[in-house]
Amino acid sequence: MHALLAQTTGFTAPPIDWHAIAPELVLLVTFVVVLVVDAFTDEHDKWLTSSLTGLGFLGSAIPLLTLALDDGPARELFGGAYVVDDFALVLKAVFIVSGYLTVLLSTNYIAEGDYWQGEYYNLLLASVLGMTFMASSRDLISIFIALETLSMPAYLLAGWRKRTLTGNEAGLKYFLMGTFASAVMLYGMSLVYGITGTTSLAGIGAQIGGAWGETPIAAVGIVFILVGFGFKVSAVPFHNWAPDTYEGAPTPITAYLSVASKAAGFVALMTLIFVAFMPRDDIYGPLMFVLATATMFIGNLIALRQTNIVRLFAYSSIAQAGFMLAPLATGGESAQVAADSIRAIVIYIVIYTAMNFGAFAVIIAVARKTRSGEISSWGGLYQYAPGLTVAMTMFLFALAGIPPLGGWFAKFQVWRAVVAAETPAGYVMGVIIAVNSVIALYYYANIAREMWFQPVPDGDETPIRVPSALTIAIGVTVVATLVFGFLPGTAGHFGDVAADLIALG
């Protein structure tokens, strides 16, 4: 103990760029405020927590904007472990918008469902906070801390419907699988650290070409770390938690997990692969090729058989993750291809956020009337909820990648990235993506078919009353889906941040 203290006397606090971490600070302050407000309000005033959380997310977007408008060089904190560059800012924006959309989706769901409100929003804030960390992390330790910060609250949120069996299953399964994945990943990190002697991604990247890169231990370390995140993005064969968790969790949390949590996993994969492991594409290339192919095929084929809409979206989001994994398989070809791959994944995440949140918003709105998750209960939706039907149709065909709706550009960018590699593996991947787009179209069109072509199953045609929070969420996502489709340049600019991770020669 004495020795430890003696060492710390030489400790000087690192300089902190407060502007750079302002978005996180706003979230942190909101967290505290919501906690206090929740403790001192009566039951009928609990709606405050929801509103405050929403305001907190919007508030944290302000420093994000000022940071984005600042043209200075990237801000590095804590010896390069925490970097605020444009790449980080775009993804932080995705996470914060996701958080806000989740609040919009949750407001009525949680308030009317007799769930604990204050704690719910607190955990949501904490989880989003972890994601904003993740976007900036460039060090094994900060990545791990970010991952745990975003995952722990998510485990609890997944099991929020604690009075139902499926709710318990959701939380427990997610927790067990998640911690297992963390353990595997930590082991991998310890191996990499043991050999390189550094936890900084840039430091690892500098040594990767050296002697240690040739040892088998290096391969084990890299694979274990990537597999750990394979769980997070629900890549096949590490996906089996996803359908049960998605079905059992509260639907807004399902939306949140399938978009934001998955995006966080991809952020980590991108930084790890393209900053730390870039030249070792002999290891991660084949691994990602297999993962992407299996994820697309298994996700899509099993989705064909689903009768429950949330489960269908669980498998669809697995398949979508496969599309996002595809560029990682070929991204190591050259710096240019790597930049294309990052661009593709970032654009995919941005567009996917709009499409998938929109679809879940409609699912929640419809479930308010039908009280059922069965796809057959969607029959004839057009006759009593035309607005919701049109919106849902747009989201479905956007997810399927049909122009001129947003999704086509996301898929196009992925195609572009894999073909840009100009390798046989890249072309094969292009064809695999093509085949899978068709399979996916079938089940998306199937929902559209139910809504448009089928009669109302119980003849009950009372219109659906959509709460204003959901209306806003649907409106925002519809506009985004259309704008990204007609003017893809708007989303395309987000991809320019690729240059922050890859130095193009």
Partner 1 sequence: MEDLLDGWGLTAAVFVPLVGAAVVMAIPRAQENLHKVVALVTSLITLAVAVALAFQFDLDRTDQLQFVVDKTWIEVINSRYIVGIDGMSLPLLMLTAFIVPLVIIYSWNHFPEPHNPKAFLALTLILETGMVGTFVAQDLILFFVFFEVVLLPMYFMIGVWGGEQRQYAAIKFFLYTVFGSALMMVSFLAVYFLAEGPGGESLHTFDMRLLSEWAGANLAPVTGAVIFGGMFMAFGIKVPIFPFHTWLPDAHTQAPTQGSVILAAVLLKLGTYGFIRIAIPILPEAAEAWAPWIGGLACIGIIYGALGCLAQTDMKRLIAFSSVAHMGYVMLGIATLTPIGLNAAVFGMVAHGLITGMLFFIAGSVKERYHTLEIKRLGGLLIQAPHLGWLLGFSTMASLGLPGLAGFWGEFPALLGAYEPGGTASDALFRTYMVIGAIGTIFAAGYLLWLLQRVAFGTPKEEFADEHIHDMHLTDYLSWSPMVVLIVVLGVYPHLINRVTDGAVIQALSAITP
Per-residue interface string for the shown chain with partner 1, residues 334-353, x marking contact by CB under 8 A: ---------x----------
Q: Is there binding between residue 467 and partner 1 (CB under 8 A)?
A: no
Which residue among 183, 304, 431, 504 contacts partner 1 (CB under 8 A)? 431
Q: What is the DSSP letter of 332?
A: G
With CB under 8 A as the contact rule, which of the stretches 90-98, 326-334, 371-379, 435-443 interacts with partner 1?
A: 435-443
Which residue among 62, 176, 183, 435 contacts partner 1 (CB under 8 A)? 435
- State the minimum distance, in angstroms, from the CB of residue 339 to partner 1: 12
- State the minimum distance, in angstroms, from the CB of residue 64 to partner 1: 22
Q: Is there binding between residue 419 and partner 1 (CB under 8 A)?
A: yes
Residue 460: both structure tokens together: 């009950």
Which residue among 47, 442, 468, 504 contacts partner 1 (CB under 8 A)? 442
Per residue, the 3-state secondary structure of 98-150, as one string, reads HHHHHHHHHHHHHHHCCCCHHHHHHHHHHHHHHHHHHHHECEHHHHHHHHHHH
- State the minimum distance, in angstroms, from the CB of residue 128 to partner 1: 28
Number of residues near partner 1 (by CB under 8 A): 36
- Do residues 241 and 177 make contact, with C-beta atoms less than 8 angstroms apart? yes
Q: What is the DSSP letter of 374?
A: B
Question: What is the Cα–Cα distance from 492 to 216, expressed in whole angstroms?
Answer: 39
With CB under 8 A as the contact rule, which of the stretches 103-111, 280-288, 368-376, 424-432 interacts with partner 1?
A: 424-432
The amino acid sitting at 53 is T
Which letter, b or e, does each residue of 268-277 get, where b requires 16 or more Cβ atoms within 10 Å of its Cβ? bbbbbbbbbb
- State the minimum distance, in angstroms, from the CB of residue 358 to partner 1: 17
Closest CA relative to residue 412, chosen from 315, 326, 333, 504: 326
Which residue among 74, 220, 223, 445 contacts partner 1 (CB under 8 A)? 445
Residues from 359 through 418 that contact partner 1 (CB under 8 A): 397, 400, 402-404, 408-409, 412-413, 415-416
Q: Which residue has the tokens 């987000």?
A: 494
Q: Is there binding between residue 47 and partner 1 (CB under 8 A)?
A: no
Residue 62: both structure tokens together: 């302000």
Nearer to partner 1, 243 or 430 (CB): 430
Could you tell me how far CA 67 lies from the centroid of its own chain?
A: 22
Q: Is there binding between residue 449 and partner 1 (CB under 8 A)?
A: yes
Which residue among 188, 243, 322, 430 contacts partner 1 (CB under 8 A)? 430
Residue 275: both structure tokens together: 């900053």
Which residue among 115, 116, 212, 427 contacts partner 1 (CB under 8 A)? 427
Q: Is there binding between residue 441 and partner 1 (CB under 8 A)?
A: yes
- State the minimum distance, in angstroms, from the CB of residue 301 to partner 1: 15
- State the minimum distance, in angstroms, from the CB of residue 129 to partner 1: 31
- Whether omega for the bond prior to residue 488 falls within 30 degrees of 0, making it cis, is no
Nearer to partner 1, 65 or 304 (CB): 304
Could you tell me where the DSSP H helices lie in 332-423?
335-370, 381-384, 386-400, 407-420
Q: What is the DSSP letter of 497?
A: G
Question: What is the Cα–Cα distance from 13 to 113, expressed in whole angstroms?
Answer: 47
Question: What is the Cα–Cα distance from 405 to 393, expressed in whole angstroms?
Answer: 10
State the residues that interact with partner 1 by CB under 8 A. Answer: 343, 397, 400, 402-404, 408-409, 412-413, 415-416, 419-420, 422, 427, 430-431, 433-435, 437-438, 441-442, 445-446, 449, 452-453, 488-489, 492-493, 495-496
